[in-house]
Amino acid sequence: MKTLKNWTLQQQLSDRIELNVDNRHCFCLYVLEPDLFRVLIKQNNQLALDRTWTIAPDNDTPWEGRSRLSCEGFSQPGYQLEQQDEWLRVSTDKLRVTIHQPLWLEWEYKTQNGDWQLLTADRPTSAYLLNTHGDGVAHYQRRYGNEQFYGLGEKAGDLNRNGRRFEMRNLDAMGYNAASTDPLYKHIPFTITRRNEVSFGLFYDNLSSCWLDLGNELDNYHLPYRRYQAEAGDLDYYLFLGPKVLDVTKKFVQLTGKTFFGPKWSLGYSGSTMHYTDAPDAQQQLQKFITLCSEHQIPCDSFQLSSGYTSINNKRYVFNWNYDKVPQPKMLSQAFHQAGLKLAANIKPCLLQDHPKYQEVAKAGLFIRDSESGSPERSVFWDDEGSHLDFTNPQTIQWWQGNVTQQLLEMGIDSTWNDNNEYEVWDGEAVCHGFGRPIAIKHIRPVMPLLMCRSSMEAQQKFAPEKRPYLISRSGCAGMQRYVQTWSGDNRTNWQTLRYNTRMGVGMSLSGLYNVGHDVGGFSGDRPDAELFVRWVQNGVMHPRFTIHSWNDDRTVNEPWMYPEATPAIRDAINLRYRLLPYFYNLLWQAHRDDEPMLRPTFLDHEHDSNTFSETDDFLIGKDLLVASVVEQGQRERPVYLPDNQNGWYCFHSGQWYKGGQKIVLPAPLERLPLLVKAGAVLPLSTHIGSTQLVKEDVRELHVFPLVAAGETCGEIFEDDGDSFGYRDGNALWLNWTLTSDVNRIDLKIEAKGSYVPVWNTLKMVLPQGEKRSLYINGLAASQITLSLL
């Protein structure tokens, strides 16, 4: 690679300046917001890829991609420009960057006192490198000793990424080690850099395979540095100011698109296993699941059909029903619907070479093409070779949507599970249609699963336009939150995975993927023992996605009733999830409307408390629930550090209040998940346990956790019909509450807005055990209040 060195100012425009570098390259510095700048280098004054599918300030991109030169959706506030012989400086009232000669950048931010302080800087020696043959770019920044690094999506290991090197190259990493395996399934080259006084985000908008080194590499000829390197594409990055970690995460979502608002049933328990659909009598096995849920009193809202329903012999063929296994798909769907369960079907974007429709699809030109012969590319896929569908071809999208509709939705399937979509096409020059402008796959590999999911979503929307769609995807890139819920892939069954999957989930959440979870119980390996399974379910019910899924090596099946002696504890954990479902649904709404993460590290709301930055197995679900999962075999007491929030925490189970900023030990018998609630919170809980599609509750509980001292807190609770778009027109219920406490009484004021009338018409107030103060609702002493009084 060749280092970029000498520059001159070429032109100054309203949204950017452009430099001529080494008399051949164009270096563009955009000012998009007062606290958001962008650097784009046009090698030889050209772009390797002139489009992006990840940047979506207006919440989505055109199918064919957004012009990489577009500034639409940004405020473009203008800037001040200063220039001296050896530098020039671009400033807003929040952020400024000095461009030094030879080329390196120094970033500063304005403090609340009005002073300019160092934010970050490039490495002064060889900051920007380009491959003179047109492929490969690199960027080196300084690395400082007091920095912490977060983000990068679902990466294995500790949440703080300091001192490690990571690769973005989407792989089907079945049975991965949750502490060390890299790369994994997703492509999110986004980091959060934090110091005590400030944080900033750095996102590289390049979809080629890449590496990010955050302190693993050392070189005596340079100051300590961090490195980003991509095998192809453009050097194009966005740098934005926090100043807090939470601010950075939310701004990243605003940059790449909002979290989709799925239906309420998607938050219930979702059953799944490869065993059922692989069985020769798959339909009977699947219907037996309904019966077993009823017999064991396990509430459930959906079931995910693994790909065995498409099999011919031992291989899978997307959109091909095996009628020997599943003779009556419509009757199967009807049976699940009558029991209050939705169905999600597994689909894959690659057709094996002997797929019944392969020749038809090849003749229509719907596959990615080989770079030399022009015939369909061939890649290893599911114990054979196959060809990958090209979702940058409108005809492929049409074919795909037609099959989703005819083979799934018309059969009664409710949702799509977009799986095995890592697109392991390693001929980097394989040609994609590119919506009429051909693109090499090396530039857009992670876009393929993104567009696959968008195709599936639009098919579902067209089929049932009045319903909010629900989709699942294993692979993708930044922006996939616009369409799907995701999970951490095919994990391996052991205690280490249980521990590090939590960190992986929190890492995804910090990286803009809020609706996440894991295969509870472990996907591959031998089945979990009873204790591990109980603890995994207790952990899983506190994630946005709660699915028990498995393909155990010993041919067993992970099911809630797999250990009779443990079934009561499993049932209690799942019942707790359903009790908390109104709270989870409120979090999903806040994630969609307000860009608030659902799964949160404890430091996200307590940056002032340095103890929260220690690596921990604790996490928050929403701002109010602190989850202290047990992830060690035999543990029956759980040490928990309570973040210092000034108001303290309540034990969810006993009602005991604890001061924040201290470590306590909670009882953790096998049947209990240690759980704490932030003082000042009001949690909506369900009074009925069961499928969200069947349960009709007439009372909704509000659990009130008042401040011990005098003070006030406030919040909002959202409710609607759970599956329509009526909320857009005001057909929803917003309960805005204010909780005031002093030594004598507790006052809860509730104001209702919106036209939606829920099934329940009474709010029942519940205080912690031992609370002696009187509770007043809208000024009246009461324990219950009817909706008509609000």
pLDDT digits (tens, 9 = 90+) for 172-204: 999 999 999 999 999 999 999 999 999 999 999
Percentage with pLDDT > 70 across the chain? 99
In a shared domain, residues 731 and 664: no
193 belongs to a structural domain? yes
Q: Is residue 685 part of a domain?
A: no
The mean pLDDT value for 672-680 works out to 98
In a domain, 205, yes or no: yes
Q: Assign 369 to helix, strand or coil.
A: strand
Residues 202, 113 share a domain: yes
The domain boundary, picked from 647, 678, 709, lies at 678
User: What pTM was computed for the model?
Assistant: 0.97
Yes or no: say if 149 and 165 are a contact pair by the CB < 8 Å rule: no
Q: Region 369-388: what's the mean pLDDT?
A: 95
Characterize the bridge pairing of strands 415-418 and 471-473.
parallel
Residue 435 lies in a domain: no
Q: How confident is the model at residue 564 (pLDDT cuts 50, 70, 90)?
A: very high
Q: Domain check: are 664 and 767 in the same one?
A: no
Q: Between the CA of residue 666 and those of 160, 425, 499, 552, 651, what are the distances in Å?
A: 26, 50, 19, 33, 9
Same domain for 705 and 628: no
Please name which of 761, 712, 758 lies closest in space to residue 737, comparing C-alpha atoms.
Answer: 712
Would you say residue 115 has pLDDT above 60?
Answer: yes
pLDDT tens, position by position, 433-462: 999 999 999 999 999 999 999 999 999 999
In this structure, what CATH number is given to the domain that contains residue 629? 2.60.40.1180
Residues 608 and 720 placed together within one structural domain of the fold:
no
- 663 and 775 together in one domain: no
Q: Which amino acid is at 187?
A: H
333 to 229, 286, 469: CA distances (angstroms): 48, 10, 17
Structural domain contains residue 415: no
Angstrom CA distances, 631 to 361, 560, 571, 654, 668, stand at 48, 19, 19, 22, 11
pLDDT band for position 782 (cuts 50, 70, 90):
confident
Kindly tell me if the per-residue pLDDT of 524 is higher than 60: yes
In a shared domain, residues 746 and 668: no
- Identify the CA nearest to 105 among candidates 141, 53, 155, 63: 141
How large is the average pLDDT for residues 367-382?
95
Per-residue pLDDT reduced to its tens digit, 611-670: 999 999 999 999 999 999 999 999 999 999 999 999 999 999 999 999 999 999 999 999
Q: CATH number of the domain at 246, please.
A: 2.60.40.1760
pLDDT (average), residues 73-92: 97
How would DSSP label each residue in 225-276?
EEEEEESSS-EEEEEEE-SSHHHHHHHHHHHH-PPP---GGGGS-EEE-HHH
Q: Is residue 340 part of a domain?
A: no
Q: Are 609 and 644 in contact (CB under 8 A)?
A: yes
What is the SS3 assignment for 7? Answer: strand
> Mean pLDDT score of the chain, rounded to an integer?
96
The predicted-structure confidence for 461-475, as pLDDT tens digits, reads as follows 999 999 999 999 999
Task: Please tell me whether residues 85 and 200 are part of one structural domain.
Answer: yes
| Average pLDDT over every residue of 246-272 | 98
Kindly state whether residues 90 and 195 are assigned to the same domain: yes
Instruction: Look at residue 81 and tell me if it is in a domain.
Output: yes
Q: Could you read off the pLDDT of 717-736 as tens digits, one per residue?
A: 999 999 999 999 999 999 99
**Measured between alpha carbons, how far is residue 780 from residues 346, 698, 736, 783, 789 in Å?**
53, 22, 17, 9, 11
Question: Both 612 and 743 in a single domain?
Answer: no
Looking at the structure, do residues 130 and 46 belong to the same domain, yes or no?
A: yes
**587-617 pLDDT, tens per residue?**
999 999 999 999 999 999 999 999 999 999 9
Residue 745: what pLDDT? 95
Same domain, 23 and 87: yes
Q: What percent of the chain has pLDDT over 90?
A: 96
Output the CA angle 778-780-783, nearest 5 degrees. 95
pLDDT at residue 786, as a whole number: 67
CB atoms within 10 A of CB 464: 13
Average pLDDT over residues 140-167: 97
Dihedral angle at the C-alpha atoms of 326, 331, 333, 336, nearest 10 degrees? -110
Instruction: Provide the number of structural domains found in the chain.
Output: 3
Predicted confidence (pLDDT) per residue in 288-342, tens digit? 999 999 999 999 999 999 999 999 998 999 999 999 999 999 999 999 999 999 9
- 127 occurs within a structural domain: yes
pLDDT of residue 696: 85
pLDDT band at 783 (very low <50, low <70, confident <90, very high): low
Distance of CA 789 to the CA centre of its chain: 39
Residue 107: give the domain boundaries.
2-152+188-256
- Quickly state the pLDDT bin for 781 (edges 50, 70, 90): confident
Residue at a domain's end among 678, 704, 737? 678
